[in-house]
Amino acid sequence: MTAPSLERANRHFIDARVRWADVDVELARQTPRVLDLLREACLVEAYLPVFLGRMMAIFWDDIDATSSFTIEAIEAHVHFEVLRRYLEKVGHRPISDAEIVAVRRRGRRAVSSDPIRELVNFMGTEHFAAYFFATLAQDAAEPVLKDVLREFSAEEEVHSRFAMDLLAARLARDPGLLPAIVEHARSFRHVGAYALGRLTAVREDDIAPILALNRKYEALLGRPLSDYLVGEPGP
């Protein structure tokens, strides 16, 4: 259980972000699939302190990276607390501390010591998280949740850009990293899958976020990622 003083601090911090008194509980319950996806996202956010702790250790001597991961850790904590409390408020499958610990236990050994692999996975994860929250905001019926999810989407896009900038800086220092970036992009794994295994698609067969990620790789690598994945790029 959360210590009383920590719980008060968390609630004070979160109360500034969400209009809790305006949440329409009955309206929220009309979209159970949205709430199920919120629950899955909450568990992913609950795992992120383990992932980010490992990232801080890998990048301990990179000031820009540790600054970025610190911001990400704070915002991930907010996402976790808001989603967990929202589920509690609307009475939809509240998440226990034991479940969070179990998720963290499953994923704690999945983070490698390869900085490029983890940056590539982090960049893609946050990119797809931005799409996930934006799409879920469209599907949500409850207005407070819509606003929260739009804010989360914008923050996740910033996190994806953090990772992209860190990869760009390393690639500028060492152009020989390009094949490794391409290979890890080819074998991309969502960070949430480290702890949860299979993740639920917010939309089936939607290639829009994949095309958008390809454009990011084009900015990073000078060519669309698809050029590298289908064979060696031309001159």
Cα–Cα dist 169/50, whole Å? 25
| Residue 34 is assigned to a structural domain of this protein | yes
Who has greater pLDDT, 6 or 83?
83
Residue 123: inside a domain, yes or no?
Answer: yes
Inside any domain, residue 172:
yes
Q: Residue 235 has what pLDDT?
A: 39
In a domain, 234, yes or no: no
Q: Report the distance separating Cα 123 and Cα 125, nearest Å.
A: 6
Q: What is the mean pLDDT of residues 28-57?
A: 97
pLDDT value, residue 17: 80
- Nearest alpha-carbon partner for 136 in 148, 121, 126: 148
What angle do helix axes 208-221 and 143-173 make, rounded to 10 degrees?
30
Range of the domain at 28: 4-229
What digits encode the pLDDT tens for the residues 50-76? 999 999 999 999 999 999 999 999 999
What pLDDT, on the 0 to 100 scale, is given for residue 227?
Answer: 86
189 inside domain: yes
Q: How confident is the model over 112-132, as pLDDT tens digits?
A: 999 999 999 999 999 999 999
State both tokens at 86. 């929202």
The answer to whether residue 63 sits within a structural domain is yes
Count of the separate structural domains present in the chain:
1
- Assigned domain for 220 exists: yes
105 found inside a domain:
yes
The per-residue pLDDT of the chain, averaged, comes to 92
pLDDT at 233 over 70: no
Whole-number pLDDT of residue 1:
47
Residue 37 belongs to domain with CATH number? 1.10.620.20
Residue 8: what pLDDT?
A: 65
Q: Which residues contact 33 (CB under 8 A, 6 or more apart)?
A: 139
**Structure token pair of residue 124:** 């893609």
The pTM of this model reads 0.91
In this prediction, residue 6 has a pLDDT band, given cuts at 50, 70 and 90, of low
